[in-house]
């Protein structure tokens, strides 16, 4: 009963962020879709213009050659940006699941209840995971509405799959942030470290496509395993999904082991 209450409390505490991040990202999808018909007839000129940009800049946008299609447009204008944006949500929430309670001085009171530390941590992370899923549900609904709005109703299944493909990278970012918050007592330090690793991995993956010195390190970046809008054209890469979910499990397991052993600030 206590675990269920802790899970529901975590979810309730995140309800504002669920609506805010979900509708905020969804509104971006609607705006991008609304612009598509205006740019559709001029995509050839737009693509040629972007080909003139430096490779290091276009690496952040994805497949420039495909911008003339609905899937290519969304990949460049939406799916390239939303996951790193939601990574901020994951880091903020992930570092606050345990460190937030500790900063408020309520963690020792919570742990005085007849419940093991690992179950507290897992219940809280489960709340974050469901919150992430609900955010992606809102994004998926907005993407579906945007596709209907502009008459791009073919491949709706893959479009929704691309929306839910954001879940694994967000969970991995949150798991990393949770681990950092347990390993480092100060939440500020944990947040800074998690931001550097998560956003740094996005830069490494993006620039690694064109910068030779970074190419060997792409496989170490979390975002190397994010499929993005390519799901709409090539289908889901379940191996990449498995890597991100596996890393999430490892991060949470490391957080559990560290949390069981460290002292709690009163």
Categorize the per-residue pLDDT at 249 as very low, low, confident or very high, splitting at 50, 70 and 90. very high
Top pLDDT among 1 and 213 is at 213
* Letter string b/e over residues 125-158, b meaning 16 or more CB atoms within 10 A of that residue's CB: bbbbbbbbebbbbbbbbbbbebbeebebeeeeeb
Go through the chain and tell me how many residues it has. 266
Output the CA–CA distances (angstroms, integers) from residue 87 to 111, 194, 248, in the order listed.
Answer: 29, 10, 13
**Tens digits of residue pLDDT in 179-205:** 998 888 778 888 899 999 999 998 888
Top pLDDT among 233 and 39 is at 233
Check: CB of residue 194 under 8 Å from CB of residue 111: no
Q: For position 244, what pLDDT does the model report?
A: 97
Single pTM value for the model: 0.88
Categorize the per-residue pLDDT at 257 as very low, low, confident or very high, splitting at 50, 70 and 90. very high
* Pick from 262, 15, 4, 214: nearest CA to 120: 4
Q: Is 91 a residue whose pLDDT tops 90?
A: yes
Top pLDDT among 254 and 34 is at 254
Top pLDDT among 249 and 149 is at 249
Q: Can you tell me the distance from the alpha carbon of 193 to that of 250, in angstroms, rounded to the nearest whole number?
A: 17
Q: Is 22 a residue whose pLDDT tops 80?
A: yes
Give the pLDDT mean for 29-42.
Answer: 82
């Amino acid at each position: 009963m206590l675990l269920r209450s802790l899970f529901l409390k975590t979810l309730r505490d995140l309800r504002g962020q669920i609506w805010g991040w979900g509708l905020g990202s969804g509104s971006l999808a609607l705006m991008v879709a609304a612009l598509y018909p205006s740019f559709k007839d001029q995509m050839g000129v737009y693509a040629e213009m972007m080909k003139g940009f430096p490779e290091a800049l276009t690496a952040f946008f994805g497949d420039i050659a495909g911008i003339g299609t609905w899937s290519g447009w969304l990949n460049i204008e939406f799916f390239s940006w939303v996951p790193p944006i939601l990574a901020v949500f994951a880091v903020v929430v992930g570092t606050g699941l345990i460190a937030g309670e500790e900063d408020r001085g309520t963690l020792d009171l919570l742990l005085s209840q007849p419940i093991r530390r690992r179950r507290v941590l897992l219940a809280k992370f489960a709340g974050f995971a469901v919150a992430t899923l609900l955010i992606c549900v809102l994004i998926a609904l907005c993407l579906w509405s945007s596709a209907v709005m502009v008459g791009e109703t073919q491949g709706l299944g893959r479009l929704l799959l691309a929306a839910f493909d954001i879940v694994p990278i967000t969970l991995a970012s949150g798991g990393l942030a949770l681990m950092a918050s347990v390993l480092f007592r100060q939440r500020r330090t944990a947040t800074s470290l998690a931001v550097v690793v998560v956003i740094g991995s996005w830069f490494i993956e993006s620039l690694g496509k064109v910068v030779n010195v970074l190419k060997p390190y792409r496989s170490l970046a979390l975002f190397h395993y994010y499929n993005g809008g390519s799901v709409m054209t090539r289908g889901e890469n379940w191996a990449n999904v498995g890597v991100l979910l596996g890393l999430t499990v490892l991060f949470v397991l490391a957080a559990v082991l560290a949390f069981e052993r460290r002292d709690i600030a009163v």
